[in-house]
Structure 1
Amino acid sequence: MDSLQKLCSTLEPLLRRVVGEEVERVLAKLTPAKVGFRSSPKRIQGSDSRSLRLQFRNKLALPLFTGSKVEGEQGSAIHVVLQDASTGQVVAVGAESSAKLEVVVLEGDFSADDEEDWPQEDFENHEVRERDGKRPLLTGELFVTLKDGVGTLGELTFTDNSSWIRSRKFRLGVKISSGYCEGLRIREAKTEPFTVKDHRGECKSPNFKQ
């Protein structure tokens, strides 16, 4: 009996060490999986970044003439909104929801699909400036500030017709003004293409209002 007790006393530390090493080895295998499992929500959250875009909410009243106010259909104000591209919902919170926008004139043949996220360079390469020796092509309130993700364009007037550019049509565009939302890509907005005619031909238009 004494011999058996001595044997047990001798083996006990050895068994404890072997069992301890085996437990540590098993835990070492399980730990990376647990860490990976816990970190997966962070990876999902990081990849769930919103795709933001500007969008015109209503269409322009046509035809357009030089010197006449640019308006929405039926004389309404022209609204632009900041949207989450994946849901179409207006983004009403955050710094971007109160950003300053710039109104520009675009070539009518800038035909990128309105659902696409085109590169900023493509948009800017289609911007139109006035002809040499002419007044600024678009005059009036060229900047608008979003409020809760919605902006209303002010008074705008074309000073020149659209017959001199390759497509013979313009578009209005809006983009984030320089110095706002830096580091955040917000896709620009554009209207449908339209023709701008000289004011002197306005009376000949069947839609001319007295």
Structure 2
Amino acid sequence: MQRSGRGLQRSGSKRVLDPTNGTGGGGGDDDHAAKRPRVPALASVIVEALKVDSLQKLCSSLEPILRRVVSEEVERALAKLGPARIEGRSSPKRIEGPDGTNLQLQFRSRLSLPLFTGGKVEGEQGAAIHVVLLDTNTGCVVTSGPESCAKLDVLVLEGDFNKEEDEGWTEEEFEGHIVKEREGKRPLLTGDLQVTLKEGVGTIGELIFTDNSSWIRSRKFRLGLRVASVFSEGIRVREAKTEAFTVKDHRGELYKKHYPPALKDDVWRLEKVGKDGAFHKKLNGSGIYTVEDFLRLLVRDQQRLRSILGSGMSNKMWESLVEHAKTCVLGGKHYIYYVNDSRNVGAIFNNIYEFTGLIADDQFISAENLTDNQKSMLTRW
């Protein structure tokens, strides 16, 4: 296949199929193009590529609506949940009220990390952050009574508040780990600092950190929740807290990796390649500036790419780098390499020069469906 890749670069018979304009590049005048029969199967390939691009744009425009609908459905589902099960943990110690009620707040979403100052705090993959009020006697969401529609305060806690739910903690211990802003600074956390439960379920609104976590002893924060007011004497609702996390200065976001990376991203957006670091300089020195450049050389000459990075990159680092690069969304551009001027047989490559199939006898055949004879023909090119 490497011979095919080289032929792709130098052959005068190469055409580029770009779904942005629906036309192929390459030689041939308009009269000749008009006489040459179109290949239905190839046309369908291009149409499918266009559909993919259109679908991606549609999904982007629908995302805010879908998030809201999903958030509402998750709230309903959480309210109907049976006993909550937490793997690897025993049941939390109970805080007995006069009527035997045991109430505890709980986060039901994990945070999307890392967090940066000035950036919105979100759940994993951009999802909303849901919280619930549990009766720990039954493990069920409390859906009725005054507690089920309580208002909650959102707070910042020290990262070293390490007590687990099954250990329990006192109200004084919780308050002793609350973090306030540094002197002369803005409030540490801004945005929607209260959540109102509805049938025992709530969704946290927009939250933004204004300061990083490097100045406290643990160098990490947690989010905490507590009831804003007491409902009845003798009953305490145990607070909730998230896992510990680091908040970095927003300037660090300039160096953040992309998941997934884009073809036109700088190559240092990939795992194990630091901006302006040794690997970044080696790649740039060999003409590899973007993720697309990296993937093209990976397809055409993996050994050369590995040698460019040198022995300073371990095999484990190399595997992590390649795995991350391969998550890149390739788009719909394709190249065709014709064997001869008759153009009755041609090989199709995607935009990182990866072989995807053949055009033979006016039909498209994917790489997975090639016969042994067709594979043999490829090796002779």
Query: 2:288 — aligned with what?
Result: none
Q: How does 1:51-66 map to 2 (within 5 A)?
A: 51-66=102-117
Which has the greater radius of gyration? 1
Query: Are residue 164 (structure 1) and residue 225 (structure 2) matched?
Result: no
TM-score by length of 2: 0.42
Provide, for residues 153-173 of structure 1, a one-character-per-residue CA deviation record: whole Å limited to 9, x for no partner.
000000000000000000000
Shift of 1:181: 1.6
**Aligned mates of 1:205, 1:165 — CA distance in 2:** 23
CA 1:208/1:67 → structure 2, altered by over 3 Å: closer, same or farther? farther
Distance between the aligned counterparts of 1:102 and 1:182, measured in 2?
Answer: 18
d(CA) in 1 for partners of 2:223 and 2:125? 18
* Cα distance in 2, alignment partners of residues 208 and 138 from structure 1: 26
Q: 1:89 to 1:164 in 2, by over 3 A?
A: same
State percent identity of aligned pairs: 65
Structure 1 runs (4+) deviating above 4 angstroms are 207-210
Rounded Cα–Cα distance in structure 2 between residues aligned with 1:181 and 1:148: 16
Alpha-carbon distance in structure 2 between the residues aligned to 1:152 and 1:103: 11
Q: What residue in structure 2 maps to residue 80 of structure 1?
A: 131
- 5 Å matches for 1:80-159? 80-159=131-210
* Alignment match, 2:241: 190
TM-score with structure 1 length normalisation? 0.74
Query: What are the Cα deviations for residues 70-110 of structure 1, in whole angstroms up to 9, with x where unaligned?
Result: 00011011011000113221010111000000000000000
In the alignment, the residues of structure 2 paired with residue 75 and residue 166 of structure 1 have an alpha-carbon distance, to the nearest angstrom, of 29
**Unpaired segments ≥5 residues, structure 2:** 1-96, 263-381
Q: Is the 8 A contact 1:202 1:208 kept in 2?
A: no
Over aligned residue pairs, what C-alpha RMSD do you find?
A: 1.7
Partner Cα distance (2:145, 2:177) in 1 = 30
Contact 1:100-1:180 within 8 A present in 2 as well: no
* Contact 1:99–1:180 (Cα < 8 Å) also in 2: no
Q: Post-superposition shift, 1:115?
A: 2.5
CA distance in 1, matches of 2:167, 2:150: 22
Give the C-alpha shift of residue 63 in structure 1.
Answer: 0.3
Q: After TM superposition, give the deviation of residue 116 of structure 1 in Å.
A: 3.2
Residue type of the partner of 1:120? E
**Structure with more relative contact order (C-alpha pairs < 8 Å, separation 6 or more):** 1
**What corresponds to 1:181 in structure 2?**
231
Distance in 2 separating the partners of 1:79 and 1:55: 9
The answer to whether the 8 A contact 2:220-2:244 is kept is yes
For residues 133 and 118 of structure 2, what CA distance do their matches in structure 1 show? 29
